[in-house]
Amino acid sequence: MEFYLDTADVHAVRKLNRVLPIVGVTTNPSIIAKEKRPAFEVLAELQDIIGERGQLFAQTLSREAEQMVEEALQLREKFPSIVVKVPTTPEGIAAIKMLTEQHVPTLGTAVYGAGQGFLAALAGAKYVAPYVNRIDAQGGNGVETVRELQRLLDLHKPDSMVLAASFRTPRQALDCMLAGCRSITIGTDVAEFFLADPAVFAALDKFDADWNSAFSKLVF
**Interaction of residue 7 with ligand G3P, rule CB under 6 A:** no
DSSP 23-63: -EEE--HHHHHTT-S-HHHHHHHHHHHH-TTSEEEEE---S
**Interaction of residue 5 with ligand G3P, rule CB under 6 A:** no
* Residues within window 138-197 making contact with ligand G3P, judged by CB under 6 A: 165-166, 187
**Interaction of residue 118 with ligand G3P, rule CB under 6 A:** no
**Interaction of residue 28 with ligand G3P, rule CB under 6 A:** yes
Nearest distance from C-beta of residue 10 to ligand G3P, angstroms: 17
Q: Which stretch binds ligand G3P (CB under 6 A): 45-53, 100-108, 126-134, 208-216?
A: 126-134
15 belongs to the catalytic site = no
Q: Which stretch binds ligand G3P (CB under 6 A): 48-56, 98-106, 127-135, 193-201?
A: 127-135
Looking at the Cβ atoms of 140 and 205, the one nearer to ligand G3P is 140
Question: Hey, what amino acid is at 64?
Answer: E
3-class state of residue 113 by DSSP: coil
Among 97, 134, 151, 157, binds ligand G3P (CB under 6 A): 134
Closest residue to bound ligand G3P by CB? 166
Nearest Cα neighbor of 56 from 88, 10, 101 is 10
> What is each CA distance from 159 to 98, 124, 144, 148, in whole angstroms?
18, 9, 21, 16
CA distance 199 to 72: 45
- In the chain, DSSP assigns E strands to 2-6, 24-26, 55-59, 83-87, 106-111, 127-130, 161-164, 183-186
Nearest distance from C-beta of residue 191 to ligand G3P, angstroms: 12
Residue ranges binding ligand G3P (CB under 6 A): 6, 26, 28, 131, 133-134, 165-166, 187
Report the catalytic residues.
85
